[in-house]
Chains A and B, each alone.
Chain A
Amino acid sequence: MARSAARGHAWTFWLFVGPFMAGLALFVYVPILWSLVLSFHEAQNTVTPTVFVGFDNYRQMLSDGPFRESLVTFTIFALFIVPLTFACSLGLAVVVHRLRFARAFFRSVFFIPTACSYVVASLIWRMSIFNGVRFGLANVLLGLFDHEPIAWLIQSDPPLYWIPIVTVRLWLQLGFYMILFLAALQQIPGELYEAAYIDGASPGWTTFRHITLPQLRSTSVAVVLLTIIAAYQAFDEFYNLIHKDLNLARTPLLQLYNIALGNQQDYGRGSAGAMILSLLIVLVTLLQGKLLGFGKPAD
């Protein structure tokens, strides 16, 4: 009896979970295993492994310039974007949270850029705001101070292209993280502040530092991790903002795109690159789980 009930449950279980697991196997497990095999083979213009080359693809990816440069590019990008996103989205959330009048309006205004794609935002940044000729908005503003127009996205010295790259992502993602902080701010019990005021604290920096920030700890950790992981996968704005023949700033995914889908169509090295990036992000995830103490299986 119990045995047949268990078998019945097995059938029902797979009725629900089967389609998903089949898809996951075909579109996630199989590609990764296939790529693992390809990464040890020469596979140019073909997705079937030809000559076994051992760790050559890995050695080439890690030694030759472009891929390693792209990891440096990611690091520089993360050093700008992570603290700026954190500070600005927290600032917006605190201010919007304090508003009594028109709060919903301002929340919507800061949130609505999330509707925009990176492609459209890059187009506005490249063709209008940071257009290198005289009619670009930034150059119009500089013109008011009699400053010469700046070729924002073409020149490498000084590396001013970071300004459009960083601001476009800030514009697109600040509202999203602001919503996360707002949700957390609403969870802080008001009695905490009242108790502090009774003890003589004045509203402002002191209560922010000693009540608000500690109460936001788990959201803050989540925001930092999410922005780092998102920066690691940056592709869209780098691809669309900077002319593809200019080697100014190429992220890891952009380099992989060039290797696997550019002229070389080198799936062997492309696969090796994908394996390296996957391994790095798994290591970071495990490390952060250890450091923050939530490495145990989520349940």
Chain B
Amino acid sequence: MVGYRRYSVGTVAVYAGTSVAAVLFLIPFYLLVRNGLATDQEITAPGWRFLPEKLHWENISELFNDPAVPFARSMLNSVVVAVLHTLGTLLVCSLAGYGLARIPYRHANKVFYGVLITLMIPSAVTFVPSFVLVSSLGWVSDLRGLIIPGLFSGFTTFLFRQYFLGFPKELEEAARVDGLGYWGAYWRIVVPNSLNFTAAIAVITFISGWNAFLWPLVIGQDQESWTVQVALSSFLTAQTVNLHELFIASAIAILPLVIVFVVLQRWLVQGVAQTGIKG
């Protein structure tokens, strides 16, 4: 009896504590919506109101129609960059991972060491060297400079290789006996049977592409090539944009990823648990 009571009191305490933590974690999202749908006077008013008197949905059209703020363009750039970044990375790294895992080539191990060695240095640390190269290619303020250098991820290739090492060999061998060769077996058998893993990697790659900041900041030197993160940062540091536009712009900027999180959470959790390192 005593044990039962202690258990239930403990459970109540755990739920109370967890709920308090949950509320704390949700406050920043609440602030985005509250301030994004308010007027500047309401945001800066001394007394705290839980929500503005009236929700100003027209802030959204004001933001997109404000000629001083290149927000729509930056959203478009981010969509293009994140989508091509994801598709390109998956294609290049999955092919390479499969080749390294499966094809019996004499120097395959040496090539693999050449990949492993790049894992020791995070790419952010070498942004100056990368910028030097990209600027000499003439890709500064250019979507090519934003997308292409990021496609060749040693880490993603490493993950694909590890995954393909565990892929059931019998499936491929049957296909190769049927005359498909490695190339045919890869496209007809391996890729269709690896969709779960690929989806997990895709979600994580898309998130890191959408949220990337340092590299787009370095490359996006004129407004035309700003991604949404660079645009928000420059509104923030310039402080010429009014507050409600700043907040509604941020809310819109995180919307695609919030949707990804809600809809694709299964693959995302799997991806995080499998990869650990990115994110």
- Residues of B near A95 (CB, < 8 A) are 14, 17-18
Please give me the residue from chain A that is nearest to B154 by CB atom: A24
Indicate if B64 sits at the interface (CB-CB under 8 A): no
Chain B interface: which size bin? Answer: 35 or more
One of B41-49, B51-59, B192-200 at the interface: B41-49
A residues 117-132 in Cβ contact with B at 8 Å: 117-129
- Determine if B132 and A271 form an interchain contact, defined as CB atoms under 8 angstroms apart: yes
B260 partner residues in chain A, CB cutoff 8 A: 115
Q: Which of B45, B104, B127, B272 contacts A253 (CB 8 A)?
A: B127
CA distance A97 to B150 in the complex (A): 36
Residues 107 to 121 of chain B near chain A (Cβ within 8 Å): 108, 111, 113-116, 118, 120-121
State whether the Cβ of A90 lies closer than 8 Å to any Cβ in chain B: no
CA distance A204 to B202 in the complex (A): 39
- Residue in B108, B116, B118, B236 whose CB lies within 8 Å of A122: B236
Is B177 in contact with chain A by the CB < 8 A criterion? no
A18 to chain B, nearest CB (A): 8
Given contacts A115-B207, A115-B257, contact A20 B233 (CB under 8 A): no
User: Given A23-B151, A27-B130, A236–B213 Cβ distance below 8 Å?
Assistant: yes
Verify A115–B132 contact, CB threshold 8 A. Answer: no
Q: Counting CB contacts under 8 A, is A180 at the interface?
A: yes
Structural contact, A171 and B125, CB atoms closer than 8 A: no
Residue contact A119 to B232, C-beta cutoff 8 Å: yes
Q: Whole-angstrom distance between the alpha carbons of A17 and B103 in the complex?
A: 10
B76 within 8 A of A: no
Q: Is residue A192 contacting chain B, with contact meaning CB distance below 8 A?
A: no
For the complex, give the distance between the alpha carbons of A176 and B104 in Å: 37
**Consensus secondary structure, chain B interface:** helix
Interface size class of A (residues with CB under 8 A): 35 or more
Q: Mark B105-149, 1 if CB is under 8 A from A, else 0.
A: 110100101111010111111111111110110000000000011
Query: Quick one: given A24-B154, A117-B210, are A38 and B132 in contact (CB under 8 Å)?
Result: yes
Pick from B114, B128, B213, B237: contact of A271, CB below 8 A. B128
Query: How far, in whole Å, are A15 and B257 apart by their CA atoms in the complex?
Result: 34
Residue pair A235, B236 in contact (C-beta under 8 Å): no
A48 to chain B: closest residue by CB = B136
Inter-chain contact A129/B31, CB cutoff 8 Å: yes
Complexed CA–CA distance, A273 and B132 (Å):
14
Interface centre among B125, B181, B262 (most CB of A within 10 A): B125
Q: Is A13 an interface residue (CB 8 A)?
A: yes
Give every chain B residue within 8 A of A115 (Cβ-Cβ): 207, 254, 257-258, 260-261
Report chain B residues within 8 Å CB of A78: none
Known interface pairs A271-B128, A282-B121; A123-B236 also in contact (CB < 8 Å): yes
- Does B95 sit at the interface, judged by CB under 8 A? yes
Of A65-73, A103-111, A154-162, A209-217, the segment with at least 4 beta carbons within 8 Å of chain B is: A103-111
Which B residue's beta carbon lies closest to that of A180? B276
Q: Which chain B residues (23-51) contact chain A, with CB distance < 8 Å?
A: 25-29, 31-32, 35, 43-46, 48
A-B contact pairs, 14 of them (CB 8 A): A38-B132, A111-B265, A114-B279, A115-B261, A120-B32, A129-B27, A133-B44, A179-B272, A180-B276, A239-B233, A240-B233, A253-B214, A271-B129, A298-B116
